[in-house]
Structure 1
Amino acid sequence: MSEENKNLNTISEETASADSNAVAETAGKTEDTKAKKAKNKKSKPQKEKGKFKKFMKSRKAKHGTVAMAITALVIVMVIVLNIIIGLLVNRFPDLELDLTSNNSFALQDDTIDYVSHLNNDVTVYILMEKDKFESQGTYFVQAQKMLNKMASKSDGKMKIKYVDLTSNPSFTSNYPNVDWQSSSANNIVLVESGKQYKVLTLTDCFEYDEQTYNYYGTYSFTGTKIEQAVVTAILNVTTDDKVVVDMIKGNNEQDYSSLKSLLENNAYQVNDVSLATGDFDKDAKVAIMYAPSVDLDEKIVEKLSTWLSNDGKYGRSLIYVPTADMGEMPNLDDFLKEWGMSIDRGYVFETDETALVNASSPYAFTVSYGDYYKDNLKNSKIPVVVSESHAVNITDENTAHALLKTTNKAGVLPIDADKSWDYKDAITGNGENVAAEGVMTNEDKKSSRVVVFGSYVMFSDTIMQYNSFNNSAYFMNVINTIADKEDVGITIESKSIDNTELGITDVATQNTMLVVFVIVIPIAILVAGFVFWLRRRNR
């Protein structure tokens, strides 16, 4: 090969190599360009994110207008959230938490059970504007919340409406049987169902300090009774056929207004009758003779016996409560003897300290339930209390039986006891009956009965107001049973919101909460604040 050809081949190889290197270099640059573009695409969000993070840490973000805007936004969000929660609570009252020790804003189980099974539509009118009702004080706010909860549990059967009588004076014309004119009426709630209605006064719905009212003429409220008042009003306006009860008067009776109110609140129709000048109501199924101070004459006793016999059809009942200082009553004694009972004129005393209401008095004590009228009690663990009671003796066990009884450490103080009398001699170890019942039944298994309670004090307004005693509930259970009444009354406790504690009584839980809220949380806040300050200082 000539020298010239060699040179040409060398030049060609170098050219090819150069071209190859150029292509490779171009390809490399292309790959680098793509990689840089991809890298730039990936790093761009990170760069922006880094800028935002850097900006949030900057002095401008922390101390400038942006910080103010963020703070304002957070405040607005909190306000909006609070409004939403408020609307939800108004729409669904059960969402509201009650942390008071006595569940001041919670409905009792009896109320929930009753309103959730309403068959009739009921409207509860509050007789003033909503804002004005709320402004009356904390107990009115409490009452409003409880009414709203009752309505929410009624499945649409119960509605709450506010009526301002000043701007709607024609409203009162629809309810002619209500006293709208008297300044002492203080009507505040009206409950209506169909054509029946019942008005509730201020004192029906709220408890107040009577001494303050008597002295200053103003109300100082101490609790709300609106739950009980409205439930019993609903029971009244939704009951069409009310059981008739005759209260026998004309023999110097003690005040029976508390018993009458209790019966009327539980949808009974109560009439006052004088057997000396009149007769029983033709529809009466129950009669009550409450603590007469004088003996009945023979004609009245005959009327009683004839009424109870009901021409041999029976089905009627008499409740008799003797007065404390009863004298000789031979006609009443003969009447009770026919029903297998007698009354001891002395006073029952109790020596068992566990039964005494007050250690200084042996004549006020709790008693045990017998085998009758106990099963339908909502809480038979709550006792019945008696005071100044006579013993009701069983003279014919085929006719009568005991209802309430003392412990075996009780006895009777004789009415004619002298200084030589020893109480130990009066304790027989068998206990004393303070309530009993005589029953007569015909061939058709229909019965008439005479129920005797030895203590008239046990049905006084003072005693029956105590929720720790079962007197009113027991009495209503007896009368509901003997009257064959399906609807039963509801005993609701009054509510006070003076005590706003959480109601935690367990010592271990109290100690745990003390450590958490008084020690752990404050120290954690201090440590977190110190760490945050130290980190910012070192930046």
Structure 2
Amino acid sequence: MSNKINSGDRDVASRMDELASAKKQKKQGGNDREKVLGKQERLPLKVHIMQLWQDIVAMVRTRRFKRGGAAIVLTVLFVLFVVLTNLVARGLTERYAVLSPDLTKNRIYTLSDVTKELLEGLDMHVEIDIIATEAACMNPGLDVDPYGHIPLATELIKRYAQYTDNLRVEFIDLGTYPGFLELIPEYRDSIYDYSVVVRSPLRSRVTSFYEMLPSLTASAATDSASVDIASSLTETVISSLIKTVTISTVPAVAYLDELGGGESVDYLLNELSINGYDIYNSYEFNFGYEPIPEAVQTVIIAAPQYDLTISQLNSLVDFLENGGQYGKSLLCFTSSISPDMPNLNTLLDEWGIKLTRNAVYEGDTSMHIPTLGSDVFYTTMHSSEYITDAITEKRIPVAGALELSIPRDTLGGSIVVNPILSTTSNGYVAPIGAEFTADSANPADAALRCIMAESTLYKTDEDGTQRRSDVIVAPVSLCSPDYIGAASYSNRAMLMRVCSLRCGITDESLDIESKTLTAVDFSVTNNAVIAVTVILGYLLPVAVLILGFIVFFRRRRL
């Protein structure tokens, strides 16, 4: 009995121990879980990242993602390709002419062969600075550019850099770069918005977009408001200034405006200014009381209404002699409305050219300009340094010319007088104001009548160096806007050659015709450029990107 009881107690005790052990293990397990949970709470970011990475890897391995992902990757790559292509293409088209063909009707964005040769021969760095932002030049607004010319001129100027590594075109915003004016202090007060500065290590010149539209009245130098919006002088202006800032000689002329003449040579003076000549007016140097500036190579008198005073005559004589150095010239334009001027005539007589009071008429009807009188005719050109083959390809008309009497032989051993322009051998003369008709003319009076001549005084130094000064007399009608401004005539080319050679520019002058513009040229060019830029640069990449996302999300639903 006693043994059974003891055995039962042992069973009870054993069960009690098992329960206690189980309870202890349960408690221990709870503590372990608390430790694990506490560790997880201390590292939530790491666990989150690991789980996110595992989810991404799992998603990438799915077939659905592979198909949609490929689409989005290709889309992004294509967008990047289009953007980079646009950037590279823009740079290449601005740098290389072959990649930016001119598709306009009248080739208004194409530089002439004359300009290309000039650029290819540049041996020093030239910078063209446009005083405005590029955006302002391409969209100037009607208040600034009522003729729509500035965007066209800007595009043409940008193309200059395509033909040489020695030229750069820059857009200068004075608001962000005021220090630019310190580079050209001599023009500091002449710089405004839309000015164009052409500079080299030798010198600088300033013009503006408004100088690149020719004046219909040929009086741009006198603030004429009438402009020719059907043509552009952009290339003429820029190319001429490039040449001016790179040659060793600075061309300069003095116009004796106080003798009268008014607007008769405005067009010529404007052409000289456009070509970079320094223009002095007689009131600037007190003509007759002070010497003509030493920098001046040629003095111009045009259709004078007042005779020279004795002091002015002496000033001109001193100018032409130049202290025995010579190298100076006088260009005198005659007019039938000028009064008799004894002092001026005395100077011309001493140089072997006698200015008569006879009006000249052309008897050869083939030389007449249709519907006009016999005093308006095409001239006969004589061999001289001013008449080139290119000039003889066109005609030189005049009106109301006066006869010049010149000697046939060398005058005084050192002065040589040569004709430049005349009538044919059927020329006639009559006193100024007298009535003349071809029917009443006596054939026996027909003769070659000189209307433009040059007298050259030569002096040879002991070392053989030859010096010269020149007096050139010509009819003022050569400078008429109807003639000098017409591309079909050679008036401009001949007069510019006279001024160039007499101002020390011994190479060929630039002969660049103005560009003819039409409304079609403007609309096609601007609209085409804008459309292509918007489509290729913006719409196409955005459209491809949107299409890529659509493809991606559609495939995810499959």
Give the C-alpha shift of residue 500 in structure 1: 5.9
Q: Is 1:89 aligned to residue 96 of structure 2?
A: no
Q: Which moved more, 1:239-248 or 1:471-480?
A: 239-248
The one-letter amino acid of 2:154's match is: Q
Tell me if the contact between 1:293 and 1:323 (Cα under 8 Å) persists in the aligned partners.
Answer: no
1:262 aligns with 2:271: yes
Q: Which residue of 2 aligns with 1:201?
A: 208
Give the deviation of 1:468 after TM superposition. Answer: 1.9
Residue 130 of structure 1 and its aligned partner are, at CA, apart by: 1.9
Report the counterpart of residue 498 of structure 2 in structure 1. Answer: 478
**Residues 208, 223 of structure 1: 8 Å contact kept:** no
Deviations 1:380-401 (A, max 9, x none): 3122222221122214532322
The match for 1:143 among 125, 146, 153 is: 153
Task: Give the residue type in structure 1 aligned to 2:250.
Answer: K
Structure 1 147/250 Cα, relative in aligned 2: closer, same or farther at 3 Å? closer
Alignment of 1:4-15 (within 5 A): none
Indicate the larger mover: 256-265 or 390-399: 256-265
Q: Structure 2 CA distance, aligned partners of 1:326 and 1:220? A: 31
| Counterpart secondary structure, 1:263 | helix
Q: Deviations over 1:203-244 (max 9, x none)?
A: 21235889xx9xxx9999433322111112223333454244
1:172-187 → structure 2 map (5 Å cutoff): 172=181, 174-178=183-187, 187=194
Is the contact made by 2:453 and 2:473 (CA closer than 8 Å) also made in structure 1? yes
Say yes or no: does 1:250 pair with 2:258: yes
Deviation at 1:159, TM superposition (A): 0.6
Q: How does 1:97-116 map to 2 (within 5 A)?
A: 97-100=101-104, 102-116=106-120
> Once the 2 structures are TM-superposed, how far is the Cα of residue 404 of structure 1 from its aligned partner?
0.9
Give the direction of change, closer, same or farther, for the CA distance of 1:128–1:221 in structure 2 (3 Å limit): farther
Cα distance change on mapping 1:187 and 1:464 into 2, 3 Å: farther
Aligned-residue identity in percent: 21
The equivalent residue for 2:538 is: none
1:111 CA drift (Å): 0.8
For 1:153, the equivalent position in structure 2 comes to 163
- In structure 2, the residue matched to 1:165 is 174
**Match for 1:408 among 414, 420, 425?**
425
Aligned to 1:43: none
Aligned counterpart, 2:350: 338
Deviation at 1:134, TM superposition (A): 1.9
SS at match of 1:489: coil
Whether the aligned pair in 2 keeps the contact of 1:358 and 1:364 (CA below 8 Å) is: no
Query: Hey, what does 1:464 align to over in structure 2?
Result: 484
SS of corresponding position for 2:516: coil
1:148 deviates by 3.0
Q: Counterparts in 2 of 1:31-42, with a 5 A limit?
A: none
1:361 counterpart SS class: coil
Distance 2:226 2:322 in 1: 52
1:271 equivalent in alignment to 2:283: no
Q: Partners in 2 of 1:471 and 1:403 — Cα distance? A: 13
What is the alpha-carbon distance in structure 2 between the residues aligned to residue 314 and residue 443 of structure 1?
11
SS in 2 for 1:292: coil
Measure, in 1, the Cα distance between the counterparts of 2:155 and 2:486. 24
Distance 1:376 1:451 in 2: 17
Q: Mapping of 1:220-299 within 5 angstroms? A: 221-255=229-263, 256-273=265-282, 274-299=286-311
SS of structure 2 residue aligned to 1:346:
strand
Q: For residues 433 and 216 of structure 2, what CA distance do their matches in structure 1 show? A: 42
Distance in 2 separating the partners of 1:220 and 1:416: 35
Structure 2 residue aligned with 1:363: 375
Q: CA deviation at 1:94?
A: 2.9
- Contact 2:303–2:335 (Cα < 8 Å) also in 1: yes
Q: CA deviation at 1:153?
A: 0.9
Given that 1:285 and 1:316 are in contact with CA atoms closer than 8 Å, whether structure 2 keeps it comes out as yes
Q: What are the Cα deviations for residues 97-121 of structure 1, in whole angstroms up to 9, with x where unaligned? A: 3355543221111111111111221
Number of residue equivalences: 421
Relative to structure 1, the CA distance from residue 188 to residue 223 in structure 2 (aligned partners, 3 Å threshold; closer, same or farther) is: farther
Change (3 A) 1:99 1:366: farther
Q: Residues 353 and 359 of structure 1 are in contact (CA less than 8 Å); yes or no, is this contact kept in structure 2?
A: no
Which residue does 2:467 correspond to in 1? 446
- Please tell me the residue identity of whatever aligns with 1:157: N
CA distance in 2, matches of 1:317, 1:195: 25
2:40 corresponds in structure 1 to none
CA contact (8 A) 1:93 1:149 kept: yes
| Stretch moving more, 412-421 or 318-327 | 412-421
Give yes or no for contact 2:132–2:194 (8 Å, CA) kept in 1: no
Q: 1:139–1:223: 8 Å Cα contact kept in structure 2?
A: no
Offset, 1:434:
1.5
Higher relative contact order (CA 8 A, sep 6+): 2
CA distance in 2, matches of 1:260, 1:151: 29
Q: Equivalent residue for 2:59?
A: none
C-alpha separation in 2, matches of 1:82 and 1:405: 63
- Cα 1:426–1:100 shift into 2, 3 Å: farther
Partner residue, 2:454? 437
Distance (Å, rounded) in 1 between the aligned partners of 2:159 and 2:138: 16
Structure 1 residue 353: Cα displacement:
4.3
Q: Kindly tell me: are residues 233 and 345 of structure 1, through their superposed partners in 2, closer, same or farther at Cα, counting changes over 3 Å?
A: same
Equivalent position SS for 1:401: strand
Unaligned runs of at least 5 residues, structure 1: 1-71, 502-539
**Aligned pairs (5 A) from 1:447-526:** 447-453=468-474, 455-461=475-481, 463-498=483-518
Per-residue CA shift, 1:324-382, capped at 9, x if unaligned? 31222223323322222222323223344443344233333321321112465654312
1:461-484 deviation per Cα after TM superposition (whole angstroms, max 9, x unaligned): 554222222222212222333344
Does structure 1 conserve the Cα–Cα contact (< 8 Å) formed by 2:391 and 2:493? Answer: no
Q: Could you say what secondary structure the match of 1:434 adopts?
A: strand
SS of the aligned residue for 1:490 comes to coil
In 1, Cα distance between the equivalents of 2:351 and 2:103?
Answer: 54
Cα distance, 1:283–1:88 mapped onto 2, change above 3 Å: closer
> For residues 380 and 250 of structure 1, what CA distance do their matches in structure 2 show?
35
SS at match of 2:238: helix
Q: Which amino acid is the alignment partner of residue 279 of structure 1? A: P
In 1, the alpha carbon distance for the partners of 2:119 and 2:422 equals 36
For normalisation by structure 1, the TM-score amounts to 0.67
The answer to whether the 8 Å contact 1:207/1:222 transfers is no
Q: Is the 8 A contact 2:130 2:194 kept in 1?
A: no
Distance change >3 Å, CA 163–CA 315, structure 1 → 2: closer
**TM-score, length of structure 2 as denominator length:** 0.65
Structure 1 residue 192, shift from structure 2 partner: 2.2
Would you say the 8 A contact 1:376–1:477 is kept in 2?
no
In structure 1, distance between residues paired with 2:503 and 2:232: 31
**Structure 1 pair 371–167 and aligned structure 2 pair: CA distance change class (3 A):** same
Cα offset for 1:488? 4.5
